[in-house]
Structure 1
């Protein structure tokens, strides 16, 4: 067993398959991972669905909207600080930032894989 501690300002910045700026933070190998991601003001992500992971999001700052669709459900949810939401396995989703930008943290379970192909491009609503 090892302990992991990561300061957000020291975490690497990567561009996620959906186009958002991500700072991967801590990981419990094969069980869960945690990251902070953001969209610049007025930016719209690419629509994707995940092949093997599910996520729980918590909005820290800014504002925007997320579109989620799966199993006949189709909804747009406002993203403002304090909102927590889920992205179940197989859900197609796309999100966009308002003029203030958008800052979110998320738990991914199992942990985000190192193999390519996890985020599958989909047709989005924006």
Structure 2
């Protein structure tokens, strides 16, 4: 059994551009805490093999998701949970006046940054490649 504590400082940046803190990992998945600064729009990406669940803790933002069947934008605010199935293109941004924070669980465990491929999204990114 494991127990962790949220690190004070980010451990890394996601391929899309969010600051991430590693929280938990195991054989079937891993969990991170993600933050997006005010005004930041991250790069649009698509994951090759990883499925994600997100739960928003605080802040306000939007996420665009697109797959072969549909696409749409969801408002992100505290209490909202979304999924990002493998192969779904997505892009997210902070539209609020405070840091956007969310928990992200990936299944299977994140294999490395080569998992994400950059795609065209609806918004111009304000962060470059990592």
Aligned CA RMSD, in angstroms, stands at: 1.3
Within 2, Cα distance between the matches of 1:101 and 1:93?
19
Q: 1:85 aligned to 2:100?
A: no
CA contact (8 A) 1:46 1:94 kept: yes
User: Could you tell me which residue of structure 2 aligns to residue 48 of structure 1?
Assistant: 45
User: Could you tell me which residue of structure 1 aligns to residue 19 of structure 2?
Assistant: 21
Alignment of structure 1 residues 64-83 onto 2, 5 Å: 64-83=61-80
Decide which of 107, 110, 116 is 1:109's aligned counterpart: 107
CA contact (8 A) 2:10 2:19 kept: no
- Residue ranges of structure 2 left out of the alignment (5+ in a row): 124-130
Within 1, Cα distance between the matches of 2:29 and 2:8?
20
What is the deviation of 1:15? 0.7
Per the alignment, do residues 15 and 108 of structure 1 end up closer, same or farther by CA in structure 2, a change over 3 Å counting? same
What is the deviation of 1:117? 1.1
Instruction: Point out the structure with the larger strand share.
Output: 1
What TM-score do you get using the length of structure 1 for normalisation? 0.91
User: Could you tell me which residue of structure 1 aligns to residue 94 of structure 2?
Assistant: 97
> Which segments of structure 1 move beyond 4 Å, counting only runs of 4 or more?
none
Instruction: Please list the CA deviations of residues 49-69 of structure 1 after superposition, one character each: whole Å capped at 9, or x if unmatched.
Output: 001100000000001000000
Secondary structure, aligned partner of 1:8: coil
What TM-score do you get using the length of structure 2 for normalisation? 0.89
